[in-house]
Amino acid sequence: MKDSARGLIVLAILLFSMVVHGGPCPHALTISIAESWPPAVQKKIESFQQPFKEIGCEVIFKKVPLSRSLLMVSRGELDGDTFRIDAFGSDLPHLVRVQSPMARLKYYFYKKSGSDLNLDQPKSFKWRKTCLTLGNRLRAQVAKELQLQVLEAANTFQCLKMLANGRVDVFIGPTLEVEDPTLKEYNSHFVRAQNPFVTANLYIYLNDRHKDIARALEPLMDKYRINDEMP
């Protein structure tokens, strides 16, 4: 209880300071959305405005290649990045993570209908082929863990096309991404595993000049967290 009260006092002082000094954001924040996400995910991220508004910040979301977005944040060319796993440290300096996730998504394996793969036994996928969207560390980690062969693509659409055409055997992703209605041409022919392979927390990263903004956003994340529901 004491820790909770102390946290509320710190937040109140921080918010008061922001009001006195004109807020934490004298200019709109430019925050990236990965170009590789399909429309349903991009729409979810673009709607994530309210936490920033509550602390007096305006956000401009900008579509950027996933492979470059965090590097641009580290260099100060962007103010922040979205939907990133907790896997960035000394390799990219000048980053600060909002400690509570902006999203928590279940990642399932998918295969083409008629495939003989048993999706409930991922260890049997060894040496099978999968597709990675460039810069996606979660998929890279899964591929390494299961010893999958990797083909890379610029976006989810290209990966699902590969799966539908038999160029790869499996693809892993959340339902919000893979089952996007705009990709029905391909995903209507897929079978999904019964259970998720992993549940991933996805975070906002900011350039470390925005440490105060990260702290102010922290207590608001649970209230606005994105889940697996389709639009």
Percentage of the chain lying above the pLDDT 70 cut: 88
Asked whether the domain spanning 105-199 has the same topology as the one spanning 2-103+201-224, the reply is yes
43 pLDDT above the threshold of 90: yes
What share of the chain in percent tops pLDDT 90?
84
pLDDT in tens, 104-119: 999 999 999 999 999 9
Cβ-Cβ contacts under 8 Å for 165 (sequence gap 6 or more): none
Mean pLDDT of 14-41: 77
Q: In this predicted model, what pLDDT tens digit does every residue of 190-202 receive, in sequence order?
A: 999 999 999 999 9
The token pair that represents 44 in the structure block: 């979810």
CATH 3.40.190.10 describes domain 2-103+201-224: yes
Q: Are 193 and 120 in contact (CB under 8 A)?
A: yes
Q: Would the pLDDT of 21 be above 50?
A: no
Name the average pLDDT for the chain.
90
Please give the CATH topology (third level) of the domain spanning 105-199: D-Maltodextrin-Binding Protein; domain 2 (3.40.190)
Q: Where are the domains of the chain?
A: 2-103+201-224, 105-199
pLDDT at 13: 44
